[in-house]
Amino acid sequence: MRQAIAIRHLAFEDLGLLGPLLADTGFSVRYLDAGLDPIDAAEVAAADLLIVLGGPIGAYEEEAYPFLAPEVRAIEMRLRADRPTLGICLGAQLMARALGARVYPGIAKEIGFAGLTLSDEGRRSCLRHLEGGPVLHWHGDTFDLPPGAVHLASTAVCRNQAFSHGTSLALQFHAEVDVRRLESWLIGHTVEIGSVPGLKVTDLRADGLRVADDLLARGRAAMQAWLDGLWPSAMLHRGRGT
What are the boundaries of each domain within the chain? 2-239
Right CATH for 2-239 from 3.90.79.10, 3.40.50.300, 3.40.50.1370, 3.40.50.880: 3.40.50.880
Q: Is the pLDDT of residue 241 over 50?
A: no
Task: Please tell me the predicted confidence (pLDDT) of residue 62.
Answer: 96
Identify which of 177, 202, 192 has the alpha carbon closest to the alpha carbon of residue 12: 177
Task: Please tell me the predicted confidence (pLDDT) of residue 232.
Answer: 81
Average pLDDT on 82-97 reads: 98
Q: Is the pLDDT of residue 220 over 70?
A: yes
Please state, in angstroms and rounded to a whole number, the distance separating the CA atoms of residues 166 and 169: 8
Give percent of the chain above pLDDT 90: 95
Please state, in angstroms and rounded to a whole number, the distance separating the CA atoms of residues 63 and 57: 12
Q: Is the pLDDT of residue 76 over 60?
A: yes
Q: Is the pLDDT of residue 8 over 70?
A: yes
3-state secondary structure 20-55: HHHHHCCEEEEEEECCCCCCCHHHHHHCCEEEECCC
Q: Is the pLDDT of residue 239 over 90?
A: no
Q: Is the pLDDT of residue 238 over 70?
A: no
Q: Is the pLDDT of residue 67 over 70?
A: yes
As a whole number, the mean pLDDT across the chain is 94
Query: What are 154-211's pLDDT values in tens digits?
Result: 999 999 999 999 999 999 999 999 999 999 999 999 999 999 999 999 999 999 999 9
Average pLDDT on 225-240 reads: 71
